[in-house]
Amino acid sequence: MLVIGLTGGIATGKSTVANLLRAKHIPIVDADVLARQVVEPGTRGLASIVKAFGRDILLPDGSLDRKKLGTVIFNDEAKRKILNSIVHPAVRRSTLWQVLTYWIKGEKYCIVDVPLLIEGGLWRWVGKVVVVYCSAEIQLRRLMNRDGSTQEDASSRLKSQIPISQKVEYADLVIDNSGSRQDLDAQVDSLVRQLEREVGWTWRLSWWFPLAGLISAGWMLLWRMVSFSRRSARRSKD
């Protein structure tokens, strides 16, 4: 089974692309949804957060007060790292489990929708990386219109992330969302057709013969690491 990492920048339209793929019944693992699930009441994740930050970050119903927790970690890098050390491993475990579930069901491929795919290093563990792109100027304008924020606030949020132009360097496929919705629909259709061609019939081998699937996956991951290193070396020389 081919695992595709889908990412982008804030206000580039990644969620729109994910929804278009979902409408085509493409299996999707949504990291944002998992990040909420792993800290629901009764989970080990929430218990660890309470142990680290105290019960003050809980709402009266026992659920996580995300706004208060966000205030606690906003300007404290040490506390942010503590939170990430709790949430990120839990999300990775849940992501792996969902991917395995899709494989057991016999899916040909699945999309892993991760906003911080590049920042978190998860791009190394997927077969392909798809980046949803638009220019920095369009990104800024969309963010201001979407959130009603000032240019200064929107620029500050964008600067807190890796520039979308850098994320594109990690991409195997780029969806350019700088144009109309019709353009975006056409690119998503093209993406699905390309994925169907690439998986062909060989996906059945990894399902019928799990060992062959593991070997194939390991080779693919090794090759993408080597390929990315070569591209990086060429860019450095240029």
Going residue by residue through the chain, which has 238 residues, state the pLDDT in tens, using 9 for 90 and above. 889 999 999 999 999 999 999 999 999 999 999 999 999 999 999 999 999 999 999 999 999 999 898 888 877 889 988 998 999 899 989 998 999 899 888 888 999 999 889 988 888 889 899 999 999 999 999 999 998 888 988 888 888 788 999 999 999 999 999 999 999 999 999 999 999 988 877 666 666 656 655 655 555 556 566 666 655 555 555 5
The reported pTM is 0.81
How far apart are the C-alpha atoms of 217 and 235, rounded to whole Å? 27
Coil, strand, or helix at residue 7?
A: strand
Read off the DSSP letter of residue 123. G
Interval 166-216: pLDDT, tens: 999 999 999 999 999 999 999 999 999 999 988 877 666 666 656 655 655
What is the C-alpha separation between 68 and 184, in angstroms, rounded?
37
Q: Buried b / exposed e across 117-155, counting CB within 10 Å, b at 16+? A: bbebebbebbbbbbbbbbeeebbbebbbeeeeeeeeebe
pLDDT in tens, 95-104: 989 998 998 8
Gap between the Cα atoms of 116 and 120, Å rounded: 6
